[in-house]
Amino acid sequence: MRRCTFSITALRGGLSGMAIAIAMPAVAQTTEPPAATDGVSDIIVTAQKRTENAQNVAVAITALSTQDIAASGVTSTEDLRAAVPSLNVTTAAGGFGLPRIRGVGATGQGAGIENPVAVYVDGVYYGSAIGALQSLFDVEQVAVLKGPQGTLFGRNATGGLIQITTRKPSYDYTASARFGYGNYDTVSAAAFVSGGLAPTLAFSLAGQYENRGDGYGKNVYTGKDIQTDRTYSLRGKLLWEPSDATSITLSGDYFGRQAADPAFVTFSRNSAGQDVPAVIASLGGDPQRDIYSDFDPTLRGSQKGASLTIDQELGGVNLRSITAYRKTKLRTFFDPDGTVQPRLRIDNNNRDKQFTQEIDLISDNDGPFNWVIGGFYMKSSAGQYPGRTTGLTTFGGNGYSDDFTDIGLESIAGFADGTYKLSENTKITAGIRYTYDQRDIDAQRVAYNGNTGVTTTTEYDAAKRSFKKLTWRLSVDHRFSPEVMAYASYNRGFRSGTFVPQIATPFNVLEPEVVDAYEVGLKTDLFDRKVRLNVAGYYYDQSAVQVIQVIAGVNNVYNARKGARIYGVDADLTWQVSDNLRLFGGFNWTDARYNSFTDAIISIPYPVGAGFTPSAYSYVDSKTGATVANTSCLGTFGAPTAQLGGNCLLRGDASGNKLQNTPDITFSLGGSLDIPTSAGTFTLTGNYYYNDGFVATADERVKQASYNTVDASITWKEPGDKFYVRLWGKNLTDAFYRSQISATNSGDNGYAGAPRTYGVTLGFDY
């Protein structure tokens, strides 16, 4: 395996990176970085939608190549947090991905709420948060871009974006496959085949299957495993190149998942007053990984889509069109009350459909001025069909309440971006984008009372809201020598507003987020290109942060209207010690805190004193400025003084507190060593990751402590480099951490990260 770190923020393991929202033409021969020989390899990125050397690009990127992904054990976007120190990926309700870069991200999700860290696959925007959790089975490259990408990748990319590029069809017949087995009775297989069908026509077909038969924990009440997982993926591509100037790619994909999730573990007193960890231990279970629930969780998810990409050269200008349709479904059936009584059962059925069309006109790299202009259109519909609540809280356990919601979106944007060479060594880049979104919501509630046999249907008046914003970026970079480049940039990102996907009268609106980001950076190749060191400092001013709180088992999202301020430093280092030994590491320090946040939702654990009353707690309404007394605990069933466990949720002050899911410090250090022998090549790899921990709630009461993970592998390749055997291990120290934690009415709970896993993989490449 060969790894190489690059661009400002992180541990990188690969030979190429990709796509950023800033670009530069080639600089003069005297100052352009020389081509790599025996030093750190050049990284080629698609900046401003054209290929460039990453060390010429004034944006922080971390990229992983195919070899890096396979050798390091990164199998999904969730695993990327161990390879990109400024990236933290958590999950919500088991099927929603919540990536966060430099403190900007989502604490929760719902229908119609898009991630502020955008996900692109082969140039196609994935608006649904379900799409943020991707299997990386046929990937050519993954690139993580830090900071607002407000022009070329403007759609809700206020934190940055994760760009995934899958393998392309080739005219020469190639094939690869791998088969693996690991602990927890995990069976995996993946294959890729590609070849020419005609002189101008080629295809590729890829597939993956993985089944974790034994779960990471058990439901001590039912005795069945939880966090079992089965996934399967297919992707097919057809490439037609009728001439040297024309390229047309048709792609289709499908991803399915079945799991015993979401497996939330209550690590405090539940709503019945039981000390859940003590109860689990008394039943012979593991309080960290086992759950105590009256039924087992269920997750069923799928994604599918098709895209058509056309590239047409028009004499010095390239016209690119990307047309795509996607459909996702996610069902999660889980017990949020932390007891074995059927108090509350949530059965959510989410679906999302989207159509996107992007057209770009891109200049070539000749001359002092290079540019791109384009337009983007998106139409989507997302909602619950339905979200069902049952249990003792709904007609005494003899009935149900079904909420049907549909949030529509029609969005159009236009953008332009250009780079001008002021002198032989200095360039300026400027870009602008205008986005107009039209949102609408329809909702219906169907309630069935089993005691009376009466079904009540309530129709809610539809609502509409438009959001529009002008975003931009400006950067200047200067190359002091072939080895050193410095840059400064100012970028504005826009995360559009939407309706909160819960029924209310009137419907609650999530106001847009705006991020103004200031960054300075230095990119260097030192000591005859043996050492690559990239450093950047950044300051963000973020408005109207979107925050989540689970109330009575339902995700509720609201705004911290006064926003947040974020600043920090990213650095990464790659040292090509010899032809066979490479060391790499990354570091990120972030200070991310709310500004004035006087009406946050805070939690007070039960039981409370006899004289407790919510009205004794007041807050300042950030919208009106009025001081308001709480009238009740949000979402609590029964009088507060009668509650023996769980939490009382109230409005309170979280001003100056840390942003959720944002570690202060992350650090990684790894290496790759090739040992050639007459029997083949042995490759040893290892990666150490440190996470300083993070707060889970706006009041900072519930926290994830710091943790460390160690991953390693040893790979043998036979002398012909066709067949290989890999022994691998992840989280070898068996560190315990929770990838998602929260404070709800039912108590403090969380979702456990993967324990120690290990296995063997056999594969071939032809």
**What pLDDT shows up at residue 636?**
76
Mean pLDDT of 125-135: 77
Nearest to 689 by CA among 661, 662, 712: 712
**What pLDDT shows up at residue 8?**
33
Residue matched to tokens 């309630």? 447
**What pLDDT shows up at residue 283?**
95
**What pLDDT shows up at residue 618?**
95
Mean pLDDT of 669-679: 94
Q: Each residue of 339-384: pLDDT tens digit?
A: 999 988 999 999 999 999 999 999 987 789 999 999 999 999 999 9
**Interstrand relation of 160-166 and 117-121 (parallel, antiparallel or unpaired):** parallel
Q: Each residue of 427-480: pLDDT tens digit?
A: 999 999 999 999 999 999 999 999 999 999 999 989 999 999 999 999 999 999
Are the beta carbons of 700 and 597 closer than 8 angstroms?
Answer: no
Average pLDDT, the chain: 88
**Which of the residue ranges 110-114, 227-231, 384-388 would you say has the lowest mean pLDDT?**
110-114
Query: Which stretch of DSSP H or E encloses residue 70?
Result: helix 66-72
Q: Each residue of 247-280: pLDDT tens digit?
A: 999 999 999 999 999 888 899 999 889 999 999 9
SS (HEC) of 329-363:
EEEEEECCCCCCCCCCEEEEEEEEEEEEEEEEEEE
In this structure, is the dihedral angle defined by the CA atoms of residues 238, 242, 243 and 247, taken in order, positive or negative? Answer: negative
**pLDDT at residue 15 is higher than 70:** no
Q: Each residue of 194-210: pLDDT tens digit?
A: 999 999 999 999 999 99
**pLDDT at residue 324 is higher than 70:** yes
Q: How confident is the model at residue 47 (pLDDT cuts 50, 70, 90)?
A: low
**pLDDT at residue 98 is higher than 70:** yes
The Cα-based distances of 71 to 64, 698, 761 in angstroms read 11, 38, 10
Phi, psi (degrees; rounded to nearest 5) at 365? -90, 10
**What pLDDT shows up at residue 125?**
94
Q: How confident is the model at residue 682 (pLDDT cuts 50, 70, 90)?
A: very high
**pLDDT at residue 28 is higher than 50:** no
**What pLDDT shows up at residue 36?**
55
Residue 490 CA to residue 478 CA, distance in Å, equals 16
Mean pLDDT of 557-578: 92
DSSP 3-state percent helix, strand, coil across the chain (nearest 5): 5, 60, 35
**What pLDDT shows up at residue 95?**
61
Mean pLDDT of 280-306: 94
In this structure, is the dihedral angle defined by the CA atoms of residues 218, 224, 226 and 228, taken in order, positive or negative? Answer: positive
Are the beta carbons of 208 and 230 closer than 8 angstroms?
Answer: no
Residue 283 CA to residue 720 CA, distance in Å, equals 54
Cβ neighbours of 379 (radius 10 Å)? 16
What are the structure tokens assigned to 562, written together? 């006064």
Cβ-based neighbours of 609, under 8 Å, separated by 6 or more: none
Q: What is the DSSP letter of 135?
A: B
**Which of the residue ranges 57-66, 150-159, 370-379 would you say has the lowest mean pLDDT?**
57-66
Cβ-based neighbours of 720, under 8 Å, separated by 6 or more: none
Are the beta carbons of 266 and 751 closer than 8 angstroms?
Answer: no
Instruction: Indicate the burial class of 103 (C-beta count within 10 angstroms; 0-12, 13-18, 19 or more).
Output: buried
**pLDDT at residue 65 is higher than 80:** no
What are the structure tokens assigned to 45, written together? 């990125």
**pLDDT at residue 287 is higher than 50:** yes
**pLDDT at residue 70 is higher than 80:** no
**pLDDT at residue 193 is higher than 70:** yes
Cβ-based neighbours of 41, under 8 Å, separated by 6 or more: 2, 4, 15
Model confidence, pTM? 0.89
Q: How confident is the model at residue 31 (pLDDT cuts 50, 70, 90)?
A: low
**What pLDDT shows up at residue 72?**
61
Mean pLDDT of 609-629: 92
Q: What percent of the chain has pLDDT over 70?
A: 92
Q: Each residue of 472-516: pLDDT tens digit?
A: 999 999 999 999 999 999 999 999 998 887 787 788 888 899 999
Q: What is the DSSP letter of 77?
A: G
**What pLDDT shows up at residue 637?**
65
**What pLDDT shows up at residue 26?**
33
**What pLDDT shows up at residue 85?**
75
Residue 340 CA to residue 292 CA, distance in Å, equals 7
Q: How confident is the model at residue 38 (pLDDT cuts 50, 70, 90)?
A: low
Are the beta carbons of 171 and 204 closer than 8 angstroms?
Answer: no
**What pLDDT shows up at residue 3?**
38
How far is residue 386 CA from its own chain's centroid?
Answer: 25
In this structure, is the dihedral angle defined by the CA atoms of residues 594, 597, 599 and 603, taken in order, positive or negative? Answer: positive
- Residue with the larger pLDDT of the pair 133 and 701: 701
